[in-house]
A and B are shown apart, each in its own frame.
Chain A
């Protein structure tokens, strides 16, 4: 059974600071997704990482994937208040049962002025 763990679950940071959210998963997969969710809203796709060593950047966010370590990171650079949201990683359980996502618990990020 695929398990996905994120840490930290809660993150309070000051504007201008850098931080990293970690996503560990338990079985082999080379497709990992990062989403953002604002309160009461749907999931907004941030990054799709499709291979070992994949790195993608958009604005102040950068995501990477190490399939050998079964680890993905979401790095926040010079945080701003608008980044306050909950961030989820999700791993695609590729195999005989086909594609379906298993989600981490989410990291609730608060960026304070």
Chain B
């Protein structure tokens, strides 16, 4: 099983719909992140969490919300999806013992 699992892998949704992207990890890492990737751009940070009670906005948090339900689970919600939120979304964790980040396989979201 992958260390960081994202569901769904692909999703097409309509403008105005609420959608949740889920991320779970098996490594016991406290720190989890949500990034967005647009074509020709690097990844941009949406939200991050250093533990269950800690949630922080990244550089592009508008239009998104998150929930850290447990150490292993970090969900990203689009309350009312719009077409410019069409992108590839990645969840990641950070290992404090070796400073390494582990990325999930990504969720390709299309808003029509």
Name A's B-contacting residues (CB within 8 A): 4, 31, 33, 40-43, 45, 48, 50, 88, 90, 92, 97-106
Contacts and interface: CB of A to CB of B under 8 A. Distances in A.
A42 B43 CA distance: 11
A103 B37 CA distance: 10
Given A4-B42, A100-B58, A31 B99 contact: yes
Nearest to B41: A105
* Most B C-beta atoms less than 10 A away, residue of A4, A33, A43: A43
A50 B43 CA distance: 21
Interface string B46-62: 00101000001010000
Nearest to A43: B103
Contacts of A102: 45
A103 B92 CA distance: 14
A45 B42 contact: no
Contacts, number: 53
B42 A88 contact: yes
A60 to B, nearest CB: 22
B104 A106 contact: no
Given A42-B90, A42-B106, A106-B42, 15 more contacts: A40-B108, A43-B103, A48-B99, A88-B42, A90-B42, A92-B99, A98-B50, A99-B94, A101-B35, A103-B43, A103-B44, A104-B42, A105-B40, A106-B40, A106-B41
Contacts of A4: 42
A43 B43 CA distance: 10
Contacts of B99: 31, 48, 50, 92
B90 A43 contact: yes
A54 to B, nearest CB: 12
A42 B48 contact: no
A33 B106 contact: no
Name which of A31, A99, A105 has the most chain B CB atoms within 10 A of its CB.
Answer: A99
